[in-house]
Amino acid sequence: MLRVVVLLILSACTYGNDLLIQNIPGRAGMTLNGTWNYIVDPYENGFYNYRYIPFDSTSNPTTSQGYFVNQKPAHKSERIEYDFDKSDRINVPGDWNYQKEKLYYYEGTVWYKKSFDYQKSQADHRVFLTFGAANYQTDVYVNAQKLGAHKGGFTPFHYEITDILKEKDNFVVVKVDNKRHQDEVPTVNTDWWNFGGITRDVTLVEMPSTFISDYFIQLEKGSKNRIKGYIQLNGPNKAGQAVTLEISGTRLKQKFKTDNRGRAVVDVSVKKLKLWSPDDPFLYDVSLSTDEEIVHDQIGFRTIATKGQNILLNGESIFLRGISIHEENPIRGGRAYSMDDARLLLGWAKELGCNYVRLAHYPHNENMVRLADEMGILVWEENPVYWTISWENKMTYATAQQQLSELISRDKNRASVIIWSMANETPVSQARMEFLVNLRTHALSMDDTRLISAALEVHGEGEGGLTRKISDPFAEYVDVLSFNQYVGWYDGLPDKCDQINWAIDQNKPVIISEFGGGALQGLHGDSLTIWTEEFQEYLYEESIEMLRRIPQLRGATPWILADFHSPRRVLPGIQDGWNRKGLIGDTGAKKKAFYVLQNFYLEIAKEFK
């Protein structure tokens, strides 16, 4: 029998965030994006002394030798063996791999430093230093004081700096370490590039002493007019405060009062609420206000559910015409980080005919989901529990739950997000089942309005293994059955697709989370010559016909929109460090299979009108 235990992040763990501020892009403040000085530190001399005791430890009396102090010689005889201001510069946000050729394959510690001045608009205001993400473990210091540490390369974190901020000559020092470890999330083995650095925006945000830190404003599950959620205040006067929710274009303007925790429960009905959909991605201007501040957000309202073999958006059956995406700009190279990057990737998806994308295999930039809201693209978001995690390690679970919490906290108000994915291609075991079921329980405790899934695997049965079934016991716990399959690529040649029979017993909708194969853009030949566009085109044609035979097929996200970097892919002249399964090459040119999928989606769009 499965033992389900809800594991809580240990309070002693220093790698999480007690405070996650909602809607950083909508807050007042100042960007710290731009050029930073950096020091490469493979031996971590700036963090440990020769006895391997951290300089920021209370047991180490030689704190001044730590790079985070940003020390300068007091006289000509003083020996200081580093100098940020004389060191090279690098852009933030951005990965170090693509900015500095000497760091292309580097995995280890890099120190970043930025100097800044800041004057608060009001003396009693509070200031927070916020990071969109940095990969993977980050230690943060301001004016030589440690703020904290964070694990996870794809989720936001914030620190209050009110009491140590000066009007002039502040400096922030960040130690970023992207080394892979067996007990981390993701683990040591992935099929994507381990980009290092401060890869998303760094911002100073300023708020009143008591401010709106968080809110959840969405339709109650199953309702088209009842909005339920909460508004959370943070600060010394958070209890018993009046907060006002107003939704423009409706008659809703209602006050709520916070409890002793600073939380106001929202439960209101709105007549004639216009629902968000891919065909009409309508966003309301939602404002939350107190006597001290007002916060604006653009929020859409829609329902998502399953019934038998169907996925229902706003009560209507929908087919999810999708594509998988990695967070990489293949033309510029490196980690995607800007709104322009998001427009490029989601623009290609729209051209393909997509109404849906899978953001694999980790949380992508907030730009992606906010733009998806505007463009009318549904989204699958994924926790980076990938392949073989240390399932029995409690701290590994704590890290996975922390990252899932930070993802849900950030994106819970985005109408485009309809699926929280727990994992990708994880091998079945009792420990793994407990791990994933606990994650699912935690996700639903934070947000029960969205669907739960995971990219599972299918296995062959019968003669020649040609009958495919979903035998993974986690299928019982998901709303949507999703699985990766590579018949014709890792499993025989494309003509094998015609021999496959599907025997899916579960009465649930199916999304094929991955299928496809590689091709070098511009390489041509006959349909049986591997790596050619013609081979990939043939594989897509056969795969689509095979998948059409699944009665409950309600979506697909083939692998993948564009070629992306992976150190696992080394074939000279073909891969050269790239995974070539993209429908778009590294120059932005579309391969022949792009148009096969585009035509399929045109047909499907007519069937599911």
The whole-chain average pLDDT of the chain stands at 95
Q: Is the pLDDT assigned to residue 278 strictly greater than 60?
A: yes
Closest CA to 192 of 405, 334, 404: 334
Residue 14: is its pLDDT beyond 80?
no
Cα dihedral 580, 583, 589, 593, rounded to 10, equals: 120
Percent of the chain clearing pLDDT 70 (strictly above)? 96
Residue 251 has pLDDT above 60, yes or no: yes
Smallest Cα–Cα separation from 105: which of 190, 197, 195?
195
Give me 278's structure tokens: 């891919």
| Residue ranges, CATH 2.60.120.260, the chain | 24-207
**What pLDDT shows up at residue 19?**
67
Q: In the predicted model, what is the mean pLDDT of residues 170-174?
A: 98
Average pLDDT (525-529) is 97
- Express each pLDDT in 85-144 by its tens digit: 999 999 999 999 999 999 999 999 999 999 999 999 999 999 999 999 999 999 999 999
The beta strands (E) that lie in 308-398 are given as 310-313, 316-317, 320-325, 356-359, 378-382
Please state which of the ranges 50-54, 580-584, 595-599 shows the lowest mean pLDDT. Answer: 50-54
Given a cut of 80, is residue 260 above it in pLDDT? Answer: yes
Output Rg (C-alpha) for the chain, integer angstroms.
Answer: 25
Lowest average pLDDT, out of 14-18, 57-61, 144-148, 228-232, goes to 14-18
pLDDT in tens, 371-395: 999 999 999 999 999 999 999 999 9
pLDDT-derived band of residue 58, with 50, 70 and 90 as boundaries? confident
Residue 490's pLDDT is 96
Q: What is the pLDDT of residue 18?
A: 53
When pLDDT is cut at 50, 70 and 90, the band that residue 12 belongs to is very low
Q: Are 560 and 566 in contact (CB under 8 A)?
A: no
Phi/psi at 600 (5° precision): -60, -45
As a whole number, mean pLDDT of residues 515-525 equals 98
Which CATH class, in words, describes the domain spanning 24-207? mainly beta
Q: How confident is the model at residue 310 (pLDDT cuts 50, 70, 90)?
A: very high
**Helix, strand, coil content of the chain in percent (nearest 5):** 20, 30, 50
pLDDT at 64: 73
Query: Does the structure show a pLDDT above 80 at 15?
Result: no
Query: Where are the domain boundaries for CATH 3.20.20.80 in the chain?
Result: 306-514+553-560+592-607
Q: DSSP for 234-276, please give it.
A: ESTT-TT-EEEEEETTSS-EEEEE--TTSEEEEEEE-TTPPPP
What Cα–Cα distance (Å) separates residue 543 from each residue in 15, 132, 200, 436? Answer: 43, 38, 37, 29
pLDDT of residue 63: 74
Say which CATH architecture domain 211-301 belongs to.
Sandwich (2.60)
Supply the angle between the helices 592-607 and 533-547 in degrees, to the nearest 10. 20
CA separation for the pair 554, 575 (Å, rounded): 32
Indicate whether 1 pLDDT > 90.
no
Quick check: 503 pLDDT over 50? yes
Reported as a pLDDT band with limits 50, 70 and 90, residue 457 is: confident
Q: Report how far apart, in Å, the C-alpha atoms of 524 and of each of 162, 227, 233, 302, 569 are.
A: 60, 54, 60, 45, 20
pLDDT at 312 over 80: yes
C-alpha span between 340 and 530 (Å, rounded): 34
Predicted pLDDT at 100: 97
The domain made up of 306-514+553-560+592-607 has a fold known as TIM Barrel (3.20.20)
CA distance 516 to 485: 8
State the pLDDT confidence band at 59, using cuts at 50, 70 and 90. confident
Q: Where in the chain is the domain with CATH 2.60.40.10?
A: 211-301
Burial 109-130 (b: 16+ CB within 10 A, else e): bbbbbbebebeeeeeebbbbbb
pLDDT computed for residue 533 by the predictor: 98
Task: Using the predicted structure, report yes or no on whether residue 155 has a pLDDT greater than 60.
Answer: yes
CA gap 218, 527 in Å, rounded: 49
What is this structure's pTM? Answer: 0.95
% residues pLDDT > 90 (the chain): 92
Residue 2 has pLDDT above 70, yes or no: no
> What is the spatial distance between Cα 423 and Cα 183, in angstroms, rounded to a whole number?
16
Predicted pLDDT of residue 65: 82
Q: Residue 61's pLDDT is what?
A: 67
Report pLDDT for 5: 38
What is the spatial distance between Cα 121 and Cα 488, in angstroms, rounded to a whole number? Answer: 62
Q: Cα separation of 514 and 355, whole Å?
A: 16
Taking residues 299-325, what's their average pLDDT?
A: 98
Read off the pLDDT band of 274 (50, 70, 90). very high
